[in-house]
Structure 1
Amino acid sequence: MTHAKKDPRVIRTQRLLRAALIDLMEERELEQITVQDIAERATVKRATFYLHYEDKQALLTQCIDELLNELREQVDTAESDYESFDYLSGEPHPSFVRLFHHISVHYNFYTAMLVKNRVAPFAEGLLKVIHEFVSRGIDRTEPDDGNLTARREVVVKYVESAFLEVIIWWLERQMPYSESDMAAQLMNLSIHGPYIRIPGRRNPQ
């Protein structure tokens, strides 16, 4: 079964409306934004907005779904990529780099959704993607529970929560470290924790 091609004019209008919503969300809270505001920023008529979306929530939902689906595709990694990667190389895994690259490319969107506004559906959806990413990575790199410092479900929850908060911190500070640097730091924290050596243990003389 073949799907009908979407009218380029429809695609263009929806892109304008999505961009307008994100622009406005960088300036003010979502509750203060009206459909009229979005239409004016997108340089279309209010009636045109309603040809495409029932309300601003429908537009927001489409924006969130599209971005999270794109992120999920970006960080999805084949089994062979985990098996062939050298974890002692000091280099971040490509999937970690792709995660931060996606955030960097869509900086305005992430900032609008997580910093300027804390949009619950987006934060929850992002956390779900990160959960899948972290859980899959830990399962593939270390299937033996005996080699984990805590129960697997606790490890996954700890790492995914840290991921989300670090991402928000990075956005709030306008990405002070590069994508690859952030990827390397987060990967090292995920695998080794915050310490190079056990705290309190003195170096041998």
Structure 2
Amino acid sequence: MKKQRTDPRVIRTQRLLRHALIELMEEREFEQITVQDISDRASIKRVTFYLHYKDKNTLLIQTIDDVLSELREQITKYISHSNEFQFHENEPHPSFIELFHQIAAHFPFYKALLVKNRVAYLTSGLLEIIHEFVSEGINQTEPDDNNLTANRDLIIKYVESAFLEVIIWWVENNMHYTEHEMAVQLMTLSIKGPYHHIPTK
């Protein structure tokens, strides 16, 4: 059975509504935004909004789901080839670069929903993806628990929490490091820690 194509007009309208929501959330809190505000910003009638979404919460959830789905899909492409990668100094795994590339590609979205509005649904969804990303990386890099400095679950939780806060910090500071620079530094920290040599004082 052929998959039915979505009407381009539907795609365009939904895109306009999502962009309108993101723009408004860059300006004020989600609770202060109404369906009428979103419709006005998208230059469509309010009745048209309800042809596509039940309410503004439905629009918000669908917008988040779509962005996170793309993030997971793109990162997974690189993780599936992790066994072919050999770590070299200052050369991050492609999946690290892709992580920050995807964040940068949707910068207004993350700025509005992760910094201006700390949307719990986005935070938990992003953390879930980071958890999978970190778990896979650590398990492939070092499958032997005896070579780890702490419990595996604790390490994964520690690293994934750091990843999330670093991403938020990077977005909040308008991506003041390049995607590659962020990938290099975060991978180095994840593997080697913060010091070139253990401090003696």
The normalised TM-score by structure 2 is 0.97
Match of 1:137 in 2: 137
RMSD: 1.2
Structure 1: distance between partners of 2:79 and 2:124: 26
- Could you tell me how far apart the structure 2 residues matched to 1:135 and 1:163 are? 12
Q: Output the CA distance in 1 between the equivalents of 2:72 and 2:54.
A: 27
Rounded Cα–Cα distance in structure 1 between residues aligned with 2:160 and 2:70: 19
Q: How does 1:192-203 map to 2 (within 5 A)?
A: 192-200=192-200
Describe the superposition over 1:7-52 as per-residue Cα deviations: whole angstroms up to 9, x where unpaired.
Answer: 0100000000000000000000000000000000000000000000
Where do 1:34-113 residues align within 5 Å? Answer: 34-77=34-77, 81-113=81-113
Matching residue of 1:180? 180
Q: 1:83: Cα distance to partner? A: 2.2
Give the drift of 1:147. Answer: 1.2
Q: Does the 8 Å contact 2:78/2:94 carry over to 1?
A: no
**Relative to 1, partners in 2 of residues 1:78 and 1:38: Cα closer, same or farther, differing over 3 Å?**
closer
2:42 is matched by which residue type in structure 1?
A: A
- State the distance in 2 between where 1:71 and 1:78 align: 11
Indicate conservation of the 8 Å contact 1:26/1:112, yes or no.
yes
8 Å Cα contact 1:39-1:46 kept in structure 2: yes
Unpaired stretches in structure 2, ≥5 consecutive residues: none
Identity score, percent: 64
| Corresponding residue for residue 152 of structure 1 | 152
Structure 2 partner of 1:170:
170
Deviation track 1:36-86 (CA, whole Å, cap 9, x = no partner) reads 000000000000000000000000010010000000011114666322222
C-alpha distance in structure 2 between counterparts of 1:148 and 1:136, whole Å: 15
CA distance in 2, matches of 1:123, 1:166: 13
CA contact (8 A) 2:79 2:95 kept: no
Residue 125, structure 1, aligned to residue 163, structure 2: no
TM-score, normalisation: structure 1? 0.95
Q: Which one-letter code corresponds to 1:198 in the other structure?
A: I
| CA–CA distance in structure 2, aligned partners of residues 79 and 25 of structure 1 | 32
Matched residue count:
201
**Contact 1:127 / 1:164 at 8 angstroms: preserved in 2?**
yes
Distance change (3 Å), C-alpha of 1:149 and 1:69: same
How far apart in 2 are the matches of 1:116 and 1:199?
38
